[in-house]
A = this chain, B = another copy of it.
Amino acid sequence: MRAVLVIADGMADRPIKELQWRTPLEAARRPALNQLAANGVSGILDPIAPGIPPGTDTATLALLGYDSLKVYSGRGALEAVGSGVEVLPGDVAFRCNFATVDQNFVVLDRRAGRIANEDAAKLAESLQKVKLKKSLNVEFFFKNTVQHRAALVIRGHSLSTAISDSDPETTGKPVLETKSLSDLPEAKRTARIVNELTREFHKVLKKHPVNKKRAEHKLPVANMILCRGPGTIPKIAPLSEVYGIKAACIAAVPLIRGVCKIAGMKLINVKGATGTVQTDYMAKAKAAVEALKTNDFVLLHVKATDVASHDRNFKLKIEVVQKIDEMLRFMLEHVSSDSTYLAVTADHTTSCMTGNHVGDPVPVVISGPYVRRDGVAEFGERSCARGDLNRIKGADLMHTLMDLLEKTKKFGA
């Protein structure tokens, strides 16, 4: 027995007036999802707890069976690991943006015009050469990832994540000084290091040839690095140890790849998988079918539903759901229904009205040979609420799947 879990990021939603108070999922053509419901057991799931908006990081940890309220230690390290940056225990890692600021350090563009990978790579190479004062006794690693995104890892003695972001998370406001959020000397030291890096990075960026060229071409210059989400590696046992399984991950976005890597899963690279709405859905489906041949458990993550939601574009969200449905159709046709459990859920509800993650539960279905089929014939936020799984918590799903695979341990005797 094997299992594949498809996570459609932010797929769940609230009812939308323009859709006659249906959700985008409910409004989408979704024959494969409905077939899964008909052949499965459905329910709703609180990734963290009712009414608590989950982050993609905390929710994915929960969906992999971990207690994210206990193990979560910030997004930065997860994303850095997912970008192929090494993060060791004790390191503090940040999510960074290349940004555009004016002479008063007021942020004009948080993404420096969504700077191209090539430009960002050249800038990152120069930033890595910055020499910090010896007295700080610290190393750093800076790497660009996709477009304006980058990771910063600082490594040395006595570091802390109890510091504030330098990223104001909006335009029109100045870059923030990173402050210690604790009286511990580690926090004060870490804040000093980040502030020092911010200043030194700016010195290099403002006179960099890449930026001079960008200015000539009327492109926003990438003259600032904004840092946010300081984090360390969560202390979790890999899935191979928890369940004795071989597990693989098919995901394009660094954050998910980071979570899965830390969970000991094999990261499968799929050509055309981009983490955008234009991702190659079918390529991911094929990769999942292939991965199932050599793995007990495969996680397939699609970011596009969340992208459409954050853009408040419910029409696009419907289209993405329909693409996901076609992807699932392919999987249904190419995995053995006798020996495969296929589960689908979302990591959180993202409202197309507000563009934000919200705390509503998400629908979930587990389809496969020995589940207690419940007569739910549609996959949706409301139809699944009437399914026999009832209302479960994030980590319950993985436990249930692993139990179907006979990979759980009896509690008691």
Instruction: Give the interface of A toward B (CB within 8 A).
Output: 14-15, 21, 23, 44, 48-59, 68-69, 72, 74-75, 95, 229, 351, 353-354, 356-360, 370-375, 381-382, 385-386, 388-393, 396, 398-403, 406, 408-413
Specify which chain B residues have a CB less than 8 angstroms from the CB of A373 in the assembled complex.
15, 21
The answer on a CB contact under 8 Å between A357 and B390 is no
Which B-chain residue is minimally distant from A412 (CB atoms)? Answer: B55
- A51 to B243 CA separation, bound complex (whole angstroms): 12
The answer on a CB contact under 8 Å between A396 and B50 is yes
Assuming A54-B410, A55-B410, A391-B392, what are 15 further A-B pairs, CB within 8 angstroms? Answer: A15-B372, A51-B398, A51-B403, A53-B408, A53-B409, A57-B413, A68-B411, A72-B412, A95-B413, A353-B370, A354-B406, A359-B408, A372-B385, A389-B391, A391-B391
- A399 to B361 CA separation, bound complex (whole angstroms): 12
Given contacts A49-B396, A51-B396, contact A381 B385 (CB under 8 A): no
Given contacts A391-B392, A412-B56, A413-B57, contact A399 B359 (CB under 8 A): yes
The answer on a CB contact under 8 Å between A372 and B23 is yes
The answer on a CB contact under 8 Å between B68 and A412 is yes
Contacting A48 at CB < 8 Å: which of B14, B15, B359, B411?
B411
Given contacts A359-B400, A370-B353, contact A408 B15 (CB under 8 A): no
The answer on a CB contact under 8 Å between A49 and B15 is no
Given contacts A373-B15, A396-B50, contact A412 B359 (CB under 8 A): no
The answer on a CB contact under 8 Å between A390 and B391 is yes
The answer on a CB contact under 8 Å between A402 and B370 is no
Contacting A392 at CB < 8 Å: which of B50, B52, B357, B370?
B50
Contacting A75 at CB < 8 Å: which of B357, B392, B403, B412?
B412
Specify which chain B residues have a CB less than 8 angstroms from the CB of A409 in the assembled complex.
53
Which B-chain residue is minimally distant from A65 (CB atoms)? Answer: B51
The answer on a CB contact under 8 Å between A388 and B44 is yes
Which B-chain residue is minimally distant from A61 (CB atoms)? Answer: B412
Specify which chain B residues have a CB less than 8 angstroms from the CB of A392 in the assembled complex.
50, 391
The answer on a CB contact under 8 Å between B412 and A51 is no
Which B-chain residue is minimally distant from A17 (CB atoms)? Answer: B369
**Could you tell me the distance in whole angstroms from the C-beta of A337 to the nearest C-beta in chain B?**
13
Contacting A390 at CB < 8 Å: which of B44, B48, B401?
B44
The answer on a CB contact under 8 Å between A370 and B14 is yes
**Could you tell me the distance in whole angstroms from the C-beta of A400 to the nearest C-beta in chain B?**
4
Contacting A413 at CB < 8 Å: which of B229, B360, B393?
B229
What are 13 residue pairs bridging A and B, where the CB atoms are less than 8 Å apart in the complex? Answer: A23-B372, A49-B399, A50-B393, A50-B396, A51-B396, A51-B403, A53-B409, A54-B410, A56-B413, A356-B406, A360-B400, A382-B388, A391-B391
**Could you tell me the distance in whole angstroms from the C-beta of A381 to the nearest C-beta in chain B?**
6
Specify which chain B residues have a CB less than 8 angstroms from the CB of A388 in the assembled complex.
44, 381-382, 385-386
Contacting A52 at CB < 8 Å: which of B48, B54, B354, B411?
B411
The answer on a CB contact under 8 Å between A55 and B372 is no
Contacting A412 at CB < 8 Å: which of B23, B58, B400, B411?
B58
Which B-chain residue is minimally distant from A388 (CB atoms)? Answer: B385
**Could you tell me the distance in whole angstroms from the C-beta of A150 to the nearest C-beta in chain B?**
16
**Could you tell me the distance in whole angstroms from the C-beta of A10 to the nearest C-beta in chain B?**
12
Interface centre among A21, A44, A390 (most CB of B within 10 A): A390
